[in-house]
Structure 1
Amino acid sequence: MQDEKKYTRIDEIPVDYFANKKISGNYLLINEIGRGTFGLVYKAKDLSNQNYSSESFLAIKLMFVPNIKNENDRLREQEIRDEIKKYSTQIFNPRVVKIQDYLQWENFLLIVMEYVDGQSLQDMLKEKDGTLTFEEIIYYFSEIALGLQGVHDMNMIHRDIKPGNILLSKDKKIKITDFGISHVKGFVYEGGNAKKTLKPSSPGTPRFASPEQYIETDSSSEDKVSFQSDIYSLGVMMYEATTGVELIKINDPRLFKPQDDKARKDRNSYLLDQTLVAEIVSPSVINPSIDKSLEYIIMKCLEKNVAERYKTANEVARDLKAIGRGEKIIIKKSKNEPYRTDSIKKLENENKKFNTFISTFINAKVVPIVACIFIIFVLLIFVLIW
């Protein structure tokens, strides 16, 4: 194909454009099975492996090699390559898609991965009108949390946890995928030398990104993104799977309580404001039937203050499994944790107390007084008539 290099954006490439294309004599691209902002994913075969059965496949992600214009571009390309190398050479949690190879082909960087025959969590949510049952929430999200722990144990932060990056096999096993913007916490390799990392350039998918991923840092500042950034994203997914609505949605007062009524014309500014500042409405405001312990878990994942969130993904899995067994869990709520349902209940209780007081006062005071006045009035009329 002589015109392949003419494409400079993923969304310009036609669907199945590379179908039946051989790559470096080793891989055969079969058909396109997914695409995102930064890459295409193809179902593929390993032509060099004679032991592969006719049903054995791989998944290959194609990303454009960065257009190197300056030193920063070169460093970013090297960071991508080094992170892929580090990822692919490690023994991973079985809940994480395994990378088997990486290479450059023409103007594309290819990541060769384990193929998962099934669907994404995003596809499943669409089939179920956006919500999962309590049992499904417990199973899938405890498994996702355990998979995340495997990523974090590698000293890596995924940074783009969302339903589209969670694959579900036909036997209901979960696999976390798409480490295109993952970040090795604390360092990257450059020419074999460890180099301290700065804040990554992209905050991931805005709707699922944690507040700290939006905060601008000085070029000399240390990266503020932590493992708990992924835990926040996990909380967003659970919130949406229990309510059926997006956590951040323009002009939807049910989801966020704005700090003021100023007009927000710019969508990015709105998302930034909501993520960093606005109060999150508890899931039970939208779905009153939600299990209260599950709601506490979700809201603890969604704490804006990193220190108030779960410390590890294992802790999230532990609590989810516990409430799935019907056990009680204790989650200490922070002073600034915005559970609006608590405020509503407090108001309801105050109203009940007030109504009880009014009822008692009327029965004990007002009724006798009115009765006395009525009797006096009748007596006066009787006296006047006589």
Structure 2
Amino acid sequence: MRLIEGQLIHRRYRLDSRLAQGGMGEVWKGFDIQLGRPVAIKALRTDTTNQESKLRRLRAEARNSANLAHPNIAALFEYYEHDGIGFLIMEYVPSKSLADLFHELNGPMDPTELLPILVQVARGLFVAHSHGVIHRDVKPANIMVSDNGEVKITDFGVSYSTNQEQITQDGMVVGTAQYISPEQAQGKHATPQSDIYSLGVVAYEGLCGHRPFTGATPVDIAAAHVNNPVPPLPASVDFQLSQFVMSMLSKDPLDRPNDALTVARILTRIQRRLLDQQTSAADATMITSNARMPRRVVSAPHHDPAGMLPRTADEDHAQSLFHSTLRPGTRLQAKEQQ
């Protein structure tokens, strides 16, 4: 069955426009006519081979995403099959990806802008890991960032769950070469630390403006993740932040942070410190840039020689308090004007 604009899926979801198409399936922007809201619809392509294995993969993605209710994970609403085609009905995220933002910058991102994104990704990953789900493809293209800074992790298409039967064969490499962990590149089982490594690559790219490893082919890049030391971050990067990102990129998973929640907490502390430093620096610049102190403007007391203006109750009370402090017999004399 070929999908076309305006087609109704499951008598409920209207296909509005195709957003993307890959080797396994295609993603559409759709509309839920029952609830009156936009949705994203991921469907298997029908013009490819190994349909049954791809359908099993889509079912696994649906199962892995079903219980991941978190603000930083794009929600799965429904899974539906018809005529051998599987459909994932998901939350529509009308945002740019972090890959888009990196491309627009064409250079390093300010750490105070990058860190809130990384923190939210880490929080979402921690929830997934807590449910036994490993994403296995953490990369900027799968991190959506809204205009107000809210982050959504998308595409659990190659995710793995400890509660599911194995779909990929032992030794099969799963992931994107530029962001793959050393153990994934060697065909070993992915763990939560594998996602932490991939997030470390994302952090490295954001801080440097480029990825740690390049190569002529994906195989060359994956091999570099296994064999080559990670090039140091620029000296301009905050020392503590640099050290922590490098720990996320340790070759040995046991040398990486214990879990994604630890990543979120430490990056949050670094972010707060950097913001405090920025604020202090801005305050110091404002003070030193003004050689003259601001002029004080003092209003002279109003002179009412005729006593024509009425006094308030507070003024009467203050006047009586003033006179009560004078010693008996004290006279007030006005100083004669010269």
Calculate the TM-score normalised by the size of structure 2. 0.74
Q: 1:40 — aligned with what?
A: 26
1:196 and 1:104 map into 2 onto residues whose CA distance is 19
Counterpart code for 2:194: S
- Once superposed, which parts of structure 1, at least 4 consecutive aligned residues long, lie more than 4 Å away? 65-69, 195-200
Q: 1:9 — aligned with what?
A: none
Asked if 1:64 corresponds to 2:66, the answer is no
Give the 5 Å matches for 1:345-364.
none
Cα-to-partner distance string for 1:98-156 (whole Å, 9 max, x where unaligned): 00111224453211100112211111111222421010122111111111111111110
Asked if 1:215 corresponds to 2:162, the answer is no
Shift of the alpha carbon at 1:67?
A: 4.2
Say if 2:27 and 2:43, in contact at 8 Å, map to a contact too.
yes
Counterpart code for 1:112: I
Tell me the C-alpha RMSD between the 2 structures.
2.5
Say if 2:173 and 2:186, in contact at 8 Å, map to a contact too.
no
Larger radius of gyration: 2
Shift of the alpha carbon at 1:198?
A: 6.0
Say if 2:185 and 2:223, in contact at 8 Å, map to a contact too.
no
Q: 1:231 — aligned with what?
A: 196
Q: 1:300 — aligned with what?
A: 247
Give the 5 Å matches for 1:1-386.
4=2, 18-47=4-33, 49=34, 51-52=35-36, 56-64=37-45, 67-68=49-50, 77-78=55-56, 80-88=58-66, 90-185=67-162, 187-188=163-164, 199=170, 201-216=172-187, 224-250=189-215, 267-284=217-234, 288-326=235-273
Say if 2:129 and 2:192, in contact at 8 Å, map to a contact too.
yes
Gaps of 5+ in 2: 275-338
Task: Give the match's secondary structure for 1:41.
Answer: strand
* Larger deviation, residues 227-236 vs 117-126: 117-126
1:235 and 1:134 map into 2 onto residues whose CA distance is 14
Say if 1:83 and 1:184, in contact at 8 Å, map to a contact too.
no
Instruction: Summarize the Cα distance change of 1:268–1:205 in structure 2 as closer, same or farther, 3 Å threshold.
Output: closer
Q: 2:286 — aligned with what?
A: none
Instruction: Summarize the Cα distance change of 1:103–1:201 in structure 2 as closer, same or farther, 3 Å threshold.
Output: farther
Gaps of 5+ in 1: 5-16, 190-194, 217-222, 251-265, 328-386
Q: 1:350 — aligned with what?
A: none
Shift of the alpha carbon at 1:268?
A: 4.0
2:88 and 2:241 map into 1 onto residues whose CA distance is 37
Instruction: Summarize the Cα distance change of 1:35–1:163 in structure 2 as closer, same or farther, 3 Å threshold.
Output: farther
Q: How many residues align?
A: 273
Calculate the TM-score normalised by the size of structure 1. 0.65
Task: Give the match's secondary structure for 1:238.
Answer: helix
Instruction: Summarize the Cα distance change of 1:130–1:154 in structure 2 as closer, same or farther, 3 Å threshold.
Output: farther
1:280 and 1:325 map into 2 onto residues whose CA distance is 27
Instruction: Summarize the Cα distance change of 1:272–1:61 in structure 2 as closer, same or farther, 3 Å threshold.
Output: same
Say if 2:64 and 2:159, in contact at 8 Å, map to a contact too.
no
Instruction: Summarize the Cα distance change of 1:136–1:199 in structure 2 as closer, same or farther, 3 Å threshold.
Output: farther
Instruction: Summarize the Cα distance change of 1:36–1:132 in structure 2 as closer, same or farther, 3 Å threshold.
Output: farther
Task: Give the match's secondary structure for 2:88.
Answer: strand
2:167 and 2:258 map into 1 onto residues whose CA distance is 23
Task: Give the match's secondary structure for 2:236.
Answer: coil
Shift of the alpha carbon at 1:311?
A: 1.4
Shift of the alpha carbon at 1:62?
A: 1.7
What is the percentage of aligned positions where both structures have the same residue? 29
